[in-house]
Amino acid sequence: MDVSTGTQDDEPGLPGFPAAPSAASPYRVLARKYRPQTFDDLIGQGAMVRTLANAFAAKRIPQAWMLTGVRGVGKTTTARILARGLNYARSGEPEAGPTITMPGLGLHCQAIMESRHMDVLEMDAASHTGIDDVRGIIDGIRYAPVSARYKVYIVDEVHMLSEKAFNAFLKTLEEPPPHAKFVFATTEIRKVPVTILSRCQRFDLRRVEAETLSAHLARICEAEGVGAEVEALAAITRAAEGSVRDALSLLDQAIAHGAGTVTAASVRDMLGLADRGRIVDLFEAVMRGDIPATFAELRGQYEAGADPSVVLSDLAGFTHLVTRLKLVPEEAGADPTLSEVERSRGAQFAGKLSVRALSRAWQILLKAVPEVQAASRPLAAAEMALVRLAYAADLPTPDEALRQLRSTEAGRGEPPAQPATAPPAPAPTFAQAVGAETATRPALAAAPAPSAQPGPRLARFEDVVAFAGERREIALQIALQRDVHLVRFEEGRIEFRLAEGGRQTIANDLARALDAWTGRRWIVALSKDAGAPTLDARAKAATETRHQNAAAHPLVREVLSRFPGAQIVDVREKAQEEAATAEAEILGVEDAAQAEGDDEP
């Protein structure tokens, strides 16, 4: 009898799947019909299956397992397969012991998988939480199994047991009789006492990866004779979030909704989702600050049946996708759930928008989603959130606003007239990045920038590094000292070679910083020439030279010879010492004068 068949009367089906039921058979939902029967049928849990296979082969079988994971990843199903493997035996064959290789239905398999075997006891801890329920298990565990090899106790949602029930389990769980095994399943592993966890072998069942789950749904559609679009299966996979049961339930619903055919449009309509292509259009409109187009697109999606909060959530998801395409393009582009529109246009946005801009958009959308969900008028709340995002496209960041305010005050001697409406000078805005037309941008974003005021004169590269420290740009200052081999320097232009392992964005970061500091445009370019040693290397070389010169002095050699183990820690120039002493004397005279002035009546 083939393991893939549901009953002996069924015709053989596809490998790993049950055969199509006869006309008289009652309908079973896909989540039950395609429930795994063996370890080979489990998808996405290779690490657990490999560990169990090695443990069974080495006869190192623990007394208890703890299975944890999110909903629908196969905890209860795995527990039943474990019970089946522990008690697997076939009629007419010699006793082989526990195994994970089950080529066909054994003597106890059908009863175990149907939860009716008298030696495999399942208890739902959500409805049996008290100590009396656990006491029944403890009283019955002393008796040997009736027909199977082991008595197996499967406790689902074990975290729901009371404190007294957990305490009653402790001794029995640590030293059970040799014929008893426990399998616990839970979605809230943090609620299980550590004393219980320490007595179990724990397996964390993973969310099934999108590619694996989508392929699984495609195989089921083929077995059911259902036509399904790839984009529709990708939408179901995204909505399932790694849960196989959720994916199969949604697929069941989509088949019924589409009258036997699963299309992307029917899935979007069923789930209240927006068209992924229209989400990209909305992203482009809001990023370039085109409020009329943004409102029109949002209204169109709303009238098509999309939930405003879902639209904003999808918009945030696309923002995250663009960020990933910018930072890890190979990994993000290989996602099988992406449509061609998302992949191609997302890559275009990734090349134009900065990480800072995408991060700001993500924060605004992340805060807007719960606001829209709680609003009495969701569409209006979503529109106001998109207005906030569109106008934030041209607002300066706090550090840019502070630098601009200080520059204006230094140049005019008074605070700026309109600080709140001043756009950032150094970096391109969202609207500029996606090629917006001036006529379609918000009025606030189109306000002209105030004229730049002359900044400090930076005549040497060392002046640039020192000024970065004065402006509290510590990360930039450290990078300039450590990673820059200067090739050429003149006011308005810097060329350097980047040290191996140096920050790749340092040229752009330095150019923007110099533009903001000096009020004029600087050209910062990378060169292939060797260049001068870095400032850090020069400082270390100078320190080493001073130490060597000091060590060569006769007096120092005499001191080192008379005090074994003594080391030269620091070498200070005499001029520096004299300057420090003079400064201290001046400060002392000023303090004394101040004290005399305070003593006068």
Are residue 431 and residue 525 in the same domain, yes or no? no
Tokens 């209006």 -> residue: 380
Contacts of 169 (CB under 8 A, 6+ apart): 134, 138, 161, 196
Are residue 380 and residue 512 in the same domain, yes or no? no
Tokens 């292509």 -> residue: 277
Tokens 């601009």 -> residue: 404
Please indicate, yes or no, if residue 318 is contained in any of the structural domains: yes
Q: What phi and psi values does residue 182 have, to the nearest 5 degrees? A: -120, 140
Residue type at position 353:
L
Are residue 361 and residue 427 in the same domain, yes or no? yes
Are residue 284 and residue 431 in the same domain, yes or no? yes
Closest CA relative to residue 503, chosen from 475, 524, 529, 528 = 475
Task: Give 489's strand partners.
Answer: 494
Tell me the average pLDDT of the chain. 78
- Average pLDDT (444-467) is 63
* CATH code assigned at 328: 1.20.272.10
- Cβ 430 vs Cβ 288: under 8 Å: yes
Please indicate, yes or no, if residue 8 is contained in any of the structural domains: no
Contacts of 128 (CB under 8 A, 6+ apart): none
Query: Residues of the chain with pLDDT > 90: what percent?
Result: 10
Are residue 191 and residue 299 in the same domain, yes or no? no
Cα dihedral angle (64, 69, 73, 76), rounded to 10 degrees? 30
Structure tokens at 2: 């083939």
Task: Determine the Cα–Cα distance for residues 153 and 162; give it in Å rounded to an integer.
Answer: 18
Looking at 516, 532, 548, which one is the last position of a domain? 532
Please indicate, yes or no, if residue 13 is contained in any of the structural domains: no
R_g of the chain, CA atoms, integer Å: 36
* CATH code assigned at 174: 3.40.50.300
Looking at 471, 497, 532, which one is the last position of a domain? 532
- Cβ 393 vs Cβ 429: under 8 Å: yes
Task: Determine the Cα–Cα distance for residues 403 and 390; give it in Å rounded to an integer.
Answer: 23
Are residue 439 and residue 498 in the same domain, yes or no? no
Are residue 40 and residue 170 in the same domain, yes or no? yes
Are residue 307 and residue 401 in the same domain, yes or no? yes
- Count, in order, helices (H) and strands (E) of the chain: 26, 10
Give the HSE-up count for residue 334: Cα atoms under 13 Å, Cβ half-sphere.
6
Q: What pLDDT is recorded for position 1? A: 30
Are residue 43 and residue 171 in the same domain, yes or no? yes
pLDDT tops 60 at residue 443: no
- Average pLDDT (533-559) is 80
Are residue 439 and residue 473 in the same domain, yes or no? no
Q: How confident is the model at residue 410 (pLDDT cuts 50, 70, 90)?
A: low
Closest CA relative to residue 133, chosen from 145, 142, 124 = 124
| Number of structural domains found in the chain | 3
Q: How confident is the model at residue 184 (pLDDT cuts 50, 70, 90)?
A: very high
- Cβ 369 vs Cβ 316: under 8 Å: yes
Instruction: Give Dmax over CA atoms of the chain in angstroms.
Output: 118
Task: Determine the Cα–Cα distance for residues 126 and 233; give it in Å rounded to an integer.
Answer: 33
pLDDT tops 50 at residue 419: no
Q: How confident is the model at residue 175 (pLDDT cuts 50, 70, 90)?
A: confident
**82-86, 142-146, 412-416: the lowest-pLDDT one:** 412-416
Please indicate, yes or no, if residue 544 is contained in any of the structural domains: no
Looking at 484, 508, 532, which one is the last position of a domain? 532
Measure CA 565 to chain center.
Answer: 52
Give the HSE-up count for residue 355: Cα atoms under 13 Å, Cβ half-sphere.
7
Please indicate, yes or no, if residue 23 is contained in any of the structural domains: no
- Cβ 123 vs Cβ 133: under 8 Å: yes
Closest CA relative to residue 362, chosen from 313, 422, 404, 398 = 313
pLDDT in tens, 547-598: 777 777 788 777 777 777 777 777 776 655 555 555 555 445 444 444 444 4
Task: Determine the Cα–Cα distance for residues 505 and 499; give it in Å rounded to an integer.
Answer: 13
Task: Determine the Cα–Cα distance for residues 154 and 79; give it in Å rounded to an integer.
Answer: 7
DSSP structure class, residue 40? G
Task: Determine the Cα–Cα distance for residues 577 and 570; give it in Å rounded to an integer.
Answer: 13
Start-to-end C-alpha separation, the chain = 113
Measure CA 11 to chain center.
Answer: 45
Q: What phi and psi values does residue 138 have, to the nearest 5 degrees? A: -65, -40
DSSP structure class, residue 23? T
Task: Determine the Cα–Cα distance for residues 116 and 148; give it in Å rounded to an integer.
Answer: 13
Structure tokens at 29: 């939902």
CA distances for 353 relative to 285, 368, 427, 454, angstroms: 14, 21, 10, 29
Contacts of 553 (CB under 8 A, 6+ apart): none
pLDDT in tens, 303-356: 877 888 988 998 998 999 899 888 888 877 677 777 777 888 888 888 888 888
pLDDT tops 50 at residue 438: no
- Cβ 262 vs Cβ 221: under 8 Å: yes
Q: What pLDDT is recorded for position 455? A: 62
Query: Residues of the chain with pLDDT > 70: what percent?
Result: 79
Please indicate, yes or no, if residue 347 is contained in any of the structural domains: yes
pLDDT tops 90 at residue 185: yes
Q: For the chain, give the number of residues.
A: 601
Q: What pLDDT is recorded for position 418? A: 47
**17-31, 63-77, 282-296, 413-427: the lowest-pLDDT one:** 413-427
Give the domain range for residue 173: 35-204
Q: How confident is the model at residue 466 (pLDDT cuts 50, 70, 90)?
A: confident
Residue type at position 221:
C
Task: Give 201's strand partners.
Answer: 65
Please indicate, yes or no, if residue 219 is contained in any of the structural domains: no
Structure tokens at 125: 């801890």
Are residue 362 and residue 387 in the same domain, yes or no? yes
Are residue 438 and residue 480 in the same domain, yes or no? no
Please indicate, yes or no, if residue 17 is contained in any of the structural domains: no
